[in-house]
Amino acid sequence: MIVLDQKNRVFSLHTQNTTYQMKADHNGVLLHTYYGPRVAPCDLSRLIRYVDRGFSPNPSEAGEDRGYSLDTLPQEYSTCGVGDFRLPCVEFEPEDGSRLADLRYAGHELKKGKYSLPGLPAFFGGEEWETLIVHLVDSTCKVSVKLYYGVLESCDLITRAVQVVNGGGQRVRLRRCASLCLDFQRGDLDFITFDGCHALERNLNRSALRPGVQSVESVRGTSSHHHNPFVILCDHSANEDYGLCYGAMLVYSGNFLAAAERTQLENNRLLLGINPYHFCWTLEPGQSFTAPEAALVCSPSGFGRMSRQYHRAIREHLIRDPYAGRRRPVLINNWEATEFHFDAERLVDIARAAAPLDIELFVMDDGWFGSRDTDRSGLGDWSVNEKKLPGGLASLVPRIRELGMSFGLWIEPEMVNEDSTLYREHPDWILGAPNRPFARGRGQLVLDFSRREVRDHVYSAIRQVLGSAEISYVKWDMNRSLTDVWSAALPADRQGELFHRFVLGVYDILEQMRRDFPNILIEGCCGGGGRFDAGMLYYTPQIWCSDNTDAIDRLRIQYGTSFCYPVSAMGAHVSAVPNAQTGRCVSMETRGVVAMAGTFGYEMDLNHTTPEERETIRRQVAFFKEHYGLIQRGDYYRLSDPFRDPVAAWEQVSPDGREALVSIVSGPAHAAVPFRSLRLKGLDPDADYRVNGGEELWPGSVLMEAGWPVPIPTGDYQSAQLYLKAE
Ligand code: DGJ
């Protein structure tokens, strides 16, 4: 609910459990007055202290009042160079070369429903949303800034976006444009980020904020394996179930900056948005720029609740139909089994072993097109390699379909190998500055997706392939970071737009593909989890979580990922042992339990499994299908921390609390293992549950307060699943 106090110019955004408030003060400065647990109607500017501190300047309107400074007041959208020395949101450079921004309140609009952002991913929905737009203006360079707020009460979700409009008569260069600024009138907060590298993504890192700026960012052109555009600020004591925490997520897939600053007043500012690194957007008179959406969830009761709110919001208001609600197929992918070395017979062999186990979708990974026999050639030539696949897809796909499986394939549209027809014909279509040798990544170059003709050429080849056979799934991969970011199609003074224009180009093709092939399920991928972000989820309902398929490493990767992203978004497969990345051997049972904490599938040649393993797989697939709704759409509870605790455990509970699935995975075996109980969560304390169809009934209160006795492992990496049903 959005409440306006017109007289005092106070805007309060209430969700079920939280309140967010801002106020345009007597000088028109938009102050951020509160964000936290829901409070009674009140002008919370009474919390603000006006003090003359540490060389903080006073704007001209303040006259002799030295206690009024943009540097000490909590700002809703921070300005630049005119008195606030903390992190700036926005910076304008008009023709005189000044690099300042000063904003004052100029009006507001209130709307039912949710705003949308043309060309950009954004949360969506109907009447359950409300929108507030606050208008600010820099009266000197006549640039206005519209701050968009979307309020989804039921999920405690507040989205924000920003549009900058050049309303003056001269060209203005926009040198930074953050999506979100959040000023806290307290400093005792922890900053949590999700960091790592290729094959070990989204490890949780937590530390208390110290004076100065702490930040994570990407300058790689993708959101990156290394840091995720999702961060948390929280009480020092916050944990899964207690304490105040604030999640901030950017709905964007390119360079980002998430920075937290602890100031001289021991307050904190959080800034989130497009990274100002290599960013400069020219606005001719009348033109506008829209910054990507950010989405906030505040939870007064720990991380678990925050995550569940994000999960629901993403499942119901970001991932689009038809795959938002439709059951996704259990798949088998050939990559780890064959890499580039396959032909039609080998693929059909793999599919033939999977079909009797009720695996539903066969995915042909990299290597099916052009001269793609290694990673040095073929990218860009999106036509079937008939040496490997005689008769093309027209021959292969019916053979897979005859086995009762649907068919999907891999593509990497943003890339090209020098050894390809595309590159030989259009060497000027890549990112790369003139007369400078370019860097290769995985032996490939990046196509300039800011250019429509490049996108159109690539997409028309891909569209032809997708239209040539019954294809129901596409894995959209992206296997390098951007370097040599220079476009032959942009003038010198607009090269600072390229990183963002590249991302807009990717979104543009994804949107076209969704439109042309609405029933194709697109899975995002970026060398595993290098572009695992909410922006991609708007186009690709699931994303390959990591190239690391080792079940034990995956426990940590999926744990970190779960803080923001739902199970239904996390691509997870059972692969062969010893694992290709770690050399570790883990049982088929445990590998299945871990992959079931994601979208679930297999990535191996099942011809090389024992009859017992195949029987296990058959049971896993049947179990997954039977409990699909609970696993993919149930409320998700983390029951342990796999970085610290001896067992990894998590739980999905149906919204009515009548059903739950608990998964437990132990670590390396030890002698004399202590007895452990696992306290479950989210159950109905008054209901009696039958566990795995056993004789005894277990009261919900007992399972939650006394716990379930964790089985004593008799070897490394054992697992158990408990299916609970209330009687
Ligand atoms: C990286 C992906 O993450 C893998 O799953 C696989 O598709 C390879 N690329 C293929 O080149």
3-state SS of 14-27 is: ECCCEEEEEEECCC
Q: Which of 5, 128, 358, 613 is catalytic?
A: 613
CA of 132 to the centre of ligand 1 (A): 42
Which DSSP category does 574 fall into? E
Q: Which of 533, 547, 550, 635 is catalytic?
A: 533
- Which residues of the chain fall below pLDDT 70? none
Q: Which atom of ligand 1 is nearest to the CA of 475?
A: 7
Could you confirm whether 386 is annotated as catalytic?
no
CB-defined site of ligand 1, < 6 Å: 335, 365-366, 410, 477, 479, 525, 527-528, 544, 547
CA of 401 to the centre of ligand 1 (A): 24
Could you confirm whether 613 is annotated as catalytic?
yes
Radius of gyration of the chain measured on its C-alpha atoms: 27
Encode pLDDT of 277-308 as tens digits: 999 999 999 999 999 999 999 999 999 999 99
Q: First-to-last CA distance in the chain?
A: 38
**Mutation probe of ligand 1 site: the residue of 442, 477, 570 with most atoms within 8 A of C-beta:** 477
Q: Which atom of ligand 1 is nearest to the CA of 375?
A: 11
Closest CA to ligand 1's atom 10: 366
Q: Are 668 and 656 in contact (CB under 8 A)?
A: no
23, 21, 45, 15: which is closest to 35 by C-alpha?
21
SS3 content of the chain, % helix, strand, coil (to 5): 20, 30, 45
Closest CA to ligand 1's atom 9: 527
Bond before 322 cis per omega within 30 degrees: yes
What pLDDT, on the 0 to 100 scale, is given for residue 426?
Answer: 98
**Mutation probe of ligand 1 site: the residue of 198, 365, 579, 581 with most atoms within 8 A of C-beta:** 365
Q: Is the dihedral of CA 213, 216, 220, 222 positive or negative?
A: negative
Listed in sequence order, the DSSP H helices in 648-722 are 700-705
Three-state DSSP class for residue 223: coil
**Mutation probe of ligand 1 site: the residue of 547, 548, 602 with most atoms within 8 A of C-beta:** 547
CA of 349 to the centre of ligand 1 (A): 21
Q: Which atom of ligand 1 is nearest to the CA of 544?
A: 3
CA of 345 to the centre of ligand 1 (A): 21
35, 62, 36: which is closest to 51 by C-alpha?
62
**Mutation probe of ligand 1 site: the residue of 532, 544, 570, 574 with most atoms within 8 A of C-beta:** 544
CB atoms within 10 A of CB 185: 17
CB atoms within 10 A of CB 58: 17
Q: What is the C-alpha to C-alpha distance for residues 717 and 671, in angstroms, rounded to an integer?
A: 14
Closest CA to ligand 1's atom 2: 527
Listed in sequence order, the DSSP H helices in 416-485 are 421-425, 452-467
Q: Which atom of ligand 1 is nearest to the CA of 547?
A: 3
What pLDDT, on the 0 to 100 scale, is given for residue 54?
Answer: 83
CA of 526 to the centre of ligand 1 (A): 8
Q: Are 588 and 574 in contact (CB under 8 A)?
A: yes
CA of 544 to the centre of ligand 1 (A): 9
Q: Which atom of ligand 1 is nearest to the CA of 410?
A: 7
pTM given for the model: 0.98
Q: Are 164 and 178 in contact (CB under 8 A)?
A: no
Closest CA to ligand 1's atom 1: 527
| DSSP state string for 472-513 | -EEEE---S---S---TTS-GGGGGGHHHHHHHHHHHHHHHH
CA distances from 403 to 59, 354, 376, 397, 468 (A): 74, 9, 33, 10, 19
CA of 115 to the centre of ligand 1 (A): 36
CA of 474 to the centre of ligand 1 (A): 13
Q: Which atom of ligand 1 is nearest to the CA of 339?
A: 10
CA of 537 to the centre of ligand 1 (A): 18
Closest CA to ligand 1's atom 11: 366
CA of 546 to the centre of ligand 1 (A): 10
Q: Which atom of ligand 1 is nearest to the CA of 365?
A: 7
**Mutation probe of ligand 1 site: the residue of 331, 332, 410 with most atoms within 8 A of C-beta:** 410
CA of 47 to the centre of ligand 1 (A): 53
